[in-house]
A and B are shown apart, each in its own frame.
Chain A
Amino acid sequence: MTESPAAPHAESPAEHKAEHKAGSKADSRACWPLYEVFVRPRRGLNHVHVGSLHASDDRMALLAARDLYTRRNEGVSLWVVRSDAITASTPDERDPFFEPSGDKVYRHPTFYDIPEDVPHI
């Protein structure tokens, strides 16, 4: 069972954040903020969101991320970001928000008819 690092359904950290903001009685969240963790699996690849954790500060978040998400050489570089520092689009406005790219078919190479016998294009 493997999940490609570039899995299209990689979780949006900000969605996570927004959820976390939704009401809760417990105060641990205020004390130990939530961090999102990004791992670069190897050189040449992007950092990819892998999950989240609670930590008291940035340094602890980095150490905990190492222990939690890279126990088996899963990465060569780590980012941790406070979840509340991420700005995200909202699912409610999903359609209108991404609408501008919907009607611009001329941005795709297949929009252009080129004769079969033209080489290398």
Chain B
Amino acid sequence: MVTAEVAEAVPAQTPEDRFEAVIAAEQRIEPRDWMPDAYRATLIRQIAQHAHSEIIGMQPEGNWLTRAPSLRRKAILLAKAQDEAGHGLYLYAAAETLGVDRAELTEKLISGRQKYSSIFNYPTLTFADVGVIGWLVDGAAICNQVPLCRCSYGPYARAMVRICKEESFHQRQGFELLMTLMRGTEAQRRMVQDAVDRWWWPSLMMFGPPDADSPNTARSMAWRIKRHSNDELRQRFVDMTVPQAEHLGVTLPDPELRWNEERGGWDFGEPDWSELTRVIHGQGPCNTQRIERRRTAHEDGAWVREAAVAHAAKRAAEHAAAAAAAEQHTEQENGK
């Protein structure tokens, strides 16, 4: 048999070999390929956490939707929140290709068994926070996400391509918002500085713990899920952001921030890692509120989901009845 010969011509390949070869060749793993259980589990955890972050991420800014200072800002903010919802859905769809169900992931989020980004557990106290979130939080997200466009798992990489394209709007609207405020009154400038002071360190924490405390990084990098370590990405973010802060005319709240000529990057202080641990473990300022809100939205939406199913069933029955009637009519015609 020709096919058998062809298969044997290749030196006996195990599924593991094929998986490793695809990774090594910088090709993509696709949904039904064999993959190690730990690879699948890592991806499900990471993609789900990412999806949850997008969904929970609508809340801090959503806080300002009804109080945006102009129709223009309101329309922009609304479009941004819609994007976050869209990003969540792309990511849930990517996670589903790994054999989990979106409803199951939502359940895990609501019951606290799966996490989302620690950054969304901080409150948005003024409208300047909306600008700073776009600039710093979405800026940090872009740093994290651009390398994920080359992630070894195809559906995740493709979702990230789509997301990154849209994320750029988020960052730019934030920066523009802040530029506008900085051209305003002294009080408005103070408002921006206050927001920067509050969001700077949490933004740095978005990249996760320092490399020494990030035990799974090496494996994720070997699998080409991750392309850069947490500290590398954090450094990249600081280097990108410092000149932007200068342009804006705000001070980043880090006395240790200084240019390091030798390595061509900015030296910066150590974030308070105990704060990150606290926030991750549920003791951030808004953890309870965020999850409660998500749960309420999910439960309040139950009747809509049920109604949609009832409507679909009713329409399907109508179609079936119409089709049966048409068939009967044809039979009668033919019988004449």
Contact = CB atoms under 8 A, between A and B. Distances in A.
Interface of A: 1-3, 7, 9, 11-12, 15-16, 18-20, 22-29, 31-32, 34, 50-54, 56-57, 60, 67-68, 71-72, 90-91, 95-96, 99, 102
Given A19-B31, A19-B99, A51 B165 contact: no
Nearest to A60: B308
A39 to B, nearest CB: 11
Given A3-B161, A95-B6, 13 more contacts: A2-B161, A3-B162, A20-B99, A24-B104, A25-B101, A25-B104, A31-B309, A56-B308, A56-B309, A60-B308, A71-B86, A90-B32, A91-B32
A67 B79 CA distance: 11
Contacts of A32: 305, 308-309
Given A1-B146, A19-B31, A31 B305 contact: yes
B305 A3 contact: no
Given A57-B312, A71-B86, A22 B99 contact: yes
Interface of B: 2-3, 6-7, 28, 30-33, 79, 82-83, 86, 89-90, 93, 96-104, 107, 146, 149, 154-155, 158-159, 161-162, 164-166, 305, 308-309, 311-312, 315-316
Given A19-B99, A51-B93, A71 B82 contact: yes
Contacts of A18: 31-32
Contacts of A52: 93, 96
Nearest to A22: B99
B33 to A, nearest CB: 6
B308 A29 contact: no
21 contacts: A2-B165, A3-B161, A11-B30, A11-B154, A15-B31, A15-B32, A19-B99, A22-B99, A24-B99, A24-B100, A32-B308, A32-B309, A51-B158, A51-B159, A52-B93, A52-B96, A54-B102, A56-B308, A91-B30, A91-B33, A96-B6
Contacts, number: 113
User: Which DSSP category, helix, strand, loop or mixed, fits chain B's interface?
Assistant: helix
A68 B92 CA distance: 13
Given A1-B161, A96-B3, A56 B312 contact: yes
Contacts of B30: 9, 11-12, 15, 91
A56 B99 CA distance: 20
A3 B7 CA distance: 33
A2 B132 CA distance: 26
B200 to A, nearest CB: 26
A3 B163 CA distance: 11
Contacts of B101: 24-26, 28-29
Contacts of B33: 91
Nearest to B146: A1
Contacts of B316: 57
Contacts of B158: 3, 7, 9, 11, 51
B312 A71 contact: no
Contact of A95 (B7, B98, B165, B308): B7
B2 A19 contact: no
Nearest to A7: B158
Contact of B96 (A20, A27, A67, A68): A20
A57 B161 CA distance: 28
Nearest to A56: B308
A51 B315 CA distance: 26
Contacts of B31: 11, 15-16, 18-19
B89 A57 contact: no
Contact of A15 (B97, B146, B312): B97
Contacts of B82: 67, 71
B76 to A, nearest CB: 13
A62 to B, nearest CB: 13
A51 B311 CA distance: 25
Nearest to B93: A52
B242 to A, nearest CB: 24
Which one of A1, A24, A32 has the greatest number of beta carbons of chain B within 10 Å? A1
Nearest to A24: B101
A100 B165 CA distance: 40
B209 to A, nearest CB: 27
